[in-house]
Amino acid sequence: VKRNIKLTIEYDGTNFNGWQIQRAGTRTIQGEIEKALHKIFNEKITLIGSGRTDSGVHALGQVANFLTHNTRLSTTEILNALNANLPEDISILKSEDVPQKFHAQYSAKRKTYRYCILNRKERCSIQRDFNTFIPYKLNLTAIQTEAKNLIGRKDFRAFTAANPAERNASIEKNTVRTIYKFQIQKKGAYLYIDIEANGFLYKMVRNIVGTLLEVGSAKLSKGSVKRILLQKDRSLAGSTAPAKGLCLIKVTY
């Protein structure tokens, strides 16, 4: 009997070359988990992630699934065996049996990302791999006003990678996505940007955040987000915000 196992995964992306297996010798989250799976199940297993995360991006709730012919182990045993065989910067939070048709990428309905900014004059020391440091003053009202224009079903072409070679072509022919929630919270010197959507284009969150940072520093004027969305031109949007401030919080199915 073939089983389909769904994993919920937390990781510190700092020392990885992102989620996806690339050329040999690079350390990736998918690669480390597949290595552990191979050890545990003694068969070659391909892990399907809900999507890639870039080098330096973290996750509190990435989801992946894999098929196995091994039926001996309970889901708890799989969870424990994986955590025992994985490096300390990956932790499996959950292991579940799911129907054969479940596919971590294609079955995903929504994703939530959080972007963390430390906004003060003095740079970050503690937890500096998990925050992006912005030393200049940000106009939070301007950011919030512009961000409202991103909510809903829109063509986010202007917010995906500029270089077509960088893109995941199969996913990104259609650049229309729906943002359900866009929340900005200020807690002390920290700014948390939470975005929930039915899917994200490659580098979309980081490009949106980069654009909003330029709105906040008045490099981009009022109405910019609306104009950028309409003109669908990546060169009009802000630069890509650093990876380390980004965290994949949740994938909903």
Catalogue the active-site residues.
Answer: 54
Task: Find the binding residues for its own copies in span 39-68 (CB under 8 A).
Answer: 58-60
Binding mask 108-127 for its own copies (x = CB under 8 A): ------------x-xxxxxx
**46 half-sphere exposure, CB direction, 13 A CA radius:** 3
Rounded Cα distance between 149 and 121, Å, is 29
Residue 88 CB, shortest distance to its own copies, in Å, is 6
Nearer to its own copies, 122 or 164 (CB): 122
- Where do runs of H (alpha helix) occur along the chain? 29-41, 75-85, 140-147, 169-172, 204-216, 224-231
Binding mask 156-195 for its own copies (x = CB under 8 A): ----------------------------------------
Per rule CB under 8 A, is residue 32 in the interface with its own copies?
Answer: no
Backbone angles phi, psi at 7, to 5 degrees: -115, 140
For residues 215 and 225, the answer to whether their CB atoms sit within 8 Å is: yes
Residue from 206, 101, 220, 113 nearest 156 by CA: 206
Per rule CB under 8 A, is residue 138 in the interface with its own copies?
Answer: no
Residue 83 CB, shortest distance to its own copies, in Å, is 6
Using CA atoms of 224, 205, 103, 92 in order, give the dihedral in degrees to the nearest 10: -160
Residues touching its own copies, count (CB under 8 A): 24
**Residue carrying the six token digits 């065996």:** 81
Residue 226 CB, shortest distance to its own copies, in Å, is 35
91 Cβ contact partners less than 8 Å away, ≥ 6 residues apart: 9, 10, 11, 83
Per rule CB under 8 A, is residue 12 in the interface with its own copies?
Answer: yes
Per rule CB under 8 A, is residue 7 in the interface with its own copies?
Answer: no
Per rule CB under 8 A, is residue 93 in the interface with its own copies?
Answer: yes
Residues near its own copies (CB under 8 A): 10-12, 58-60, 79, 83, 88-93, 120, 122-128, 130, 247
